[in-house]
A = this chain, B = another copy of it.
Amino acid sequence: MSSFDLDSYLQTQQERVENLLRARSDEMGVHVPPRLLESMRYSLLAGGKRLRPVLCLAFAEAVLKKSTVSRVVEDAACSLEFIHTYSLVHDDLPSMDDDDLRRGRPTNHKVYGEAMAILAGDSLLTDAFALVAGGPEPVRGLLCRELAVGAGSAGMVGGQVLDIAEDRPAHIDYITRMHRLKTGALIRAACRMGVLAAGGDAEELDRADTYGDAVGLAFQIADDILDVTGDASSLGKPVGADAAAGRFTFPAVLGLEESKQLAAQKVAQAIAAVQTLEPGDGPLAALARYSVERRS
């Protein structure tokens, strides 16, 4: 049993991220056309788990051995949520998943129209780089690279393309690669950026990398499992939505039990990777477990 109080930790960190996102989008919004800013903030401030910024903050705090972090770390955390939010806004578009609801609210394009949703996504994506590129040398260059590699054609967007490919094979290797890119690459970047923004060393970066890769995959397997076993009110979308869209999921290919075992194995790998960085029981181990034990 864990002695770490994850619920109260998550609540604190999510509020912290919420406040940071509000402040940063306020600051950046001074020269932005009001309707665009409104559309960006509609999706950016819609709640959610804030997993990527929370992981970024957790790694920075583990490196620094304290919970006060610099503005560089905060901006890195926010940039990850800017990127994640843009990907949701574009994924929901009629020509993509055509979703009407996101986190229980109408999707961006339902409220602001398709053109504005595309542009709000483009802005969130670009402004994520403005956020980290505004920081000090040399770390801002490192952070921009992590963000770009994690989010670009060989990362998150590449995974999205593998997901919508018509000829995709129902094979575990394909599905694993797809999710490693689609969800995993940005989660891995989040962990790495936390270490980099906090001035961590090469070994700490390596540990964050292993953890991020394992947690990213565990998180996605859990997502697929929740789609089969979860309930609509905590998910904020209909149960079975993914399967109904004909998507290939881990349970569909491996079966439910083997999927659960694989997720548990990934969680164990992640926890093992950070044992020197976080002796005893702390947020990193708890967040790894949370990636599969959550209910939404």
A residues with a Cβ closer than 8 A to B are: 28-33, 35-37, 40, 86, 90, 93, 95-96, 113-116, 118-119, 121-123, 125-127, 129-130, 132-135, 137-138, 140-141, 144-145, 147-149, 151-155, 157-158, 160-162, 164-165
Contacts and interface: CB of A to CB of B under 8 A. Distances in A.
A35 B165 contact: yes
8 contacts: A33-B161, A95-B118, A126-B157, A127-B152, A129-B144, A130-B145, A130-B152, A140-B141
A125 B130 CA distance: 13
A145 B131 CA distance: 8
How many copies, total? 2
A117 to B, nearest CB: 8
The 8 closest A-B pairs by CB, nearest first: A95-B114, A130-B148, A126-B152, A133-B145, A123-B153, A31-B154, A129-B148, A133-B144
A33 B162 contact: yes
A124 to B, nearest CB: 8
B153 A127 contact: yes
Given A90-B119, A118-B118, A123-B152, 9 more contacts: A28-B154, A31-B154, A36-B153, A90-B122, A119-B157, A122-B125, A125-B126, A133-B144, A140-B144
A169 B161 CA distance: 40
Contacts of A144: 129, 132-133, 140-141, 144
A130 B115 contact: no
Nearest to A127: B152
Contacts of A127: 148, 152-153
Contacts of A30: 154
A186 to B, nearest CB: 11
Contacts of A28: 153-154
Contacts of A116: 161, 164
Contacts of A33: 153, 158, 161-162, 165
Contacts of A132: 144
A220 B94 CA distance: 32
A295 B164 CA distance: 41
A134 B152 CA distance: 13
A133 B157 contact: no
A116 B161 CA distance: 7
A153 B126 contact: yes
Contact of A119 (B32, B119, B126, B160): B160
A148 B127 CA distance: 6
Nearest to A113: B95
A157 B90 contact: no
Contacts of A32: 153-154, 158
B126 A148 contact: yes
Given A118-B95, A154-B31, A137 B134 contact: no
